[in-house]
Chains A and B, each alone.
Chain A
Amino acid sequence: MPKPRHIMEFERPLIELERQLAELQQLDLVDNIELSAEIDALAAQIEQLHHETYKHLSPWDRVQIARHPQRPKTQHYVETLFADVVELHGDRAFGDDEAMFAGLATLDGRRVAVLGHRKGTNTKENIRRNFGSPHPEGFRKAMRVMDLAEKFGLPVVSFLDTAGASPGLEDEERGQAWAIAESLAKLSGLKVPVVVVGIGEGGSGGALAIGFGDRLIMLENAYYSVISPEMCAQILYKDASQAETASSCLRMTAADLLGLGVVDEIVQEPLGGAQTAPDQVFEAVRESVNRALLELAIVDTAVLVARRYEKLRAIGEYCSLDE
């Protein structure tokens, strides 16, 4: 049975017109009422609205798309882009976090290490995967695989899709902050190329822990933010319903971040989002990642690490009181 279509807020007017059209068509067909003129007019109206709806997406619309339950997830990219995937489990200290994928794989003949936040495709799977929010052991597993990648000279490809690191009591007790900080330090000096792809949600420290490197590629409708728009609204406006305002203030879309110098490249999505034509997106991501890996493969290790540092060093805006 096909899954019921997930309707996003901003699609509602369009969906309503589509429903009306279906009704008219039904009347036309079944009840034999001549309605072709009305049908044509409505169809034209729908086509125009369709174009307007998806061509001029607000940051908040994009957040809805980034969170779309049918949006391709890390496992779909791993299955589609890579061959001979060997998943690696566990942090060797506490457990195996199913919110974090780690493994070895081959991308068009090139051996790589793969990391990625892992959301579920249904409620049951989501509960197992903590809705894609890693525990400390998830980041520690990722770090273990970063070490492996460095030891054997494999580039790292990392997929971001998390609302954030898990904020539970036990996460705190097991050192969530320590796990993230250590991952940041490790990634910053890793002696192999690191290519990051933002495919959906990029929630704060939990995303950043595996979310920066030599290339940051983002899908058009993915977001990357210091805080979720809801929580930002709660804190700054004392009103979670102001999330829409917060989402534009935070400048969290791929286009905004390209402008701020945080993101290197944007991969266009089909009209309406990646879920409407996943294969098209997989192909575009494959091409971008391959190109990045090819370019980075010829860079001397010391230069690679120095450039990564310089890139981080350059992010931020301030002024001097002396000037």
Chain B
Amino acid sequence: MSIADWFSARETKRYTQVADRRVAAPSGSDVPDGVWVKCDGCKRTIYEGELVENERVCSACGHHFDLTAPQRIELLADENSFVEFGADLAPCDPLSFVAAKPYGAQLTAAAEKSGLPEAVVIGRACISEHPIVMAVMDFRFIGASMGSVVGEKIARAFETATAERLPIVIVTASGGARMQEGMLSLMQMAKTSAAARQHSDAGLVYISVLTNPTYGGVTASFAVLGDVIFAEPGAMIGFAGPKLVEQTTRQKLPKSFQTSESLLEHGMIDGIVARGELRSGIASVIGYLKPAEARSVANGGGL
């Protein structure tokens, strides 16, 4: 990690409230030996190798560490089943946005840091042999904020699933809409929601998996339009960030505020699924929620 990257990582952390921890090594690369990570849940020091074996869940307290998109795909998709599409789409700086750090430079740094051209990876895959379309967001890329490319890729993922009559699974993590693309970003909320609706109108199933953290324009668009919405334990999920809510409400927020557990209690999600059960949970729902015509054929067949 260069000094510049270190600064940018530090800067990002300051306002995205990512806890101070090492950025996980991208999938495929060997995890360096002898690295110790502090658990955000129980503050225990964990050996990196142990964490990897346990799908990056703390074996002592069950805290779920954030995953990168490649790690998530490896965890959910059947072995060697994932085939990416839309990988050529890359962001530009349509507004020539001026900030302390120019947007163009930020994009370059994010690409270097994550090894990804943008904050979402989309592709065809299988989950327990069910063919699906899959989209996974990666928080390392400018807080997985949604700009033109993220919106376009999510829309293409839905459109591909609609055209090929496939279920779609989206794993979200995002700080919200990407300010540096202004209204173009806001309109991606409408675009992705429109694509989600077309997929839904075609009678196909969408399973949304909300992971830590999912906020703003992503929560308030495609993320919560799933037929079934799962969340990982302890994930922070909301519309407005907790600081803004606290300022607005002028009272101390409950400790569980905006956690998966609180969302479940308020009836906003279908279930909290631990990482180890996520794959079977998704497969199970896909098995139940087949397109209606498939069901009538099945019924006709005497099932």
A residues contacting B by CB (< 8 A) are 165-169, 171-178, 180-182, 184-189, 204-205, 208, 212, 224-227, 231-232, 235-237, 245, 249-252, 257, 260, 262, 308-309, 312-313, 315-322
Contacts and interface: CB of A to CB of B under 8 A. Distances in A.
A185 B257 contact: no
Given A177-B224, A250-B183, A315-B188, 8 more contacts: A172-B245, A175-B224, A181-B189, A184-B220, A225-B182, A235-B15, A316-B184, A321-B117
Contacts of B197: 185-186, 188-189
Given A167-B248, A251-B183, A237 B148 contact: no
Contact of B177 (A177, A178, A212, A226): A226
Interface stretch (B24-32, B71-79, B127-135, B236-244): B236-244
B149 interface: yes
Interface string B213-251: 000110111111100000000000011100011001101
A252 B182 contact: yes
Interface string B89-115: 111101101111000000000000000
Closest 3 CB pairs of A and B: A316-B148, A167-B240, A188-B194
B189 A184 contact: yes
21 contacts: A167-B240, A169-B251, A177-B238, A178-B268, A180-B239, A181-B189, A184-B189, A189-B201, A204-B217, A205-B186, A227-B179, A236-B180, A237-B100, A252-B182, A309-B198, A312-B187, A312-B190, A315-B191, A317-B92, A318-B90, A321-B89
Nearest to A167: B240
Given A175-B266, A225-B186, A318 B100 contact: no
Interface of chain A, main secondary structure: helix
A176 B177 contact: no
Chain B interface: which size bin?
35 or more
A226 B220 contact: no
Contacts of B99: 236-237, 249
Nearest to B96: A249
A168 B249 contact: yes
A56 B259 CA distance: 48
Nearest to A184: B193
Given A178-B224, A180-B239, A184-B193, A172 B179 contact: no
A188 B224 contact: no
Contacts of B201: 189
A181 B193 contact: yes
Contact of A227 (B97, B117, B177): B177
Nearest to A234: B15
A176 B216 CA distance: 10
A261 to B, nearest CB: 9
B225 A320 contact: no
Nearest to B101: A236
Contacts of A178: 224, 268
A218 to B, nearest CB: 11
B186 A236 contact: no
Contacts of B262: 173
B151 interface: yes
B17 to A, nearest CB: 12
Contacts of B117: 321
A98 to B, nearest CB: 17
A318 B182 CA distance: 14
B196 interface: yes
B39 interface: no
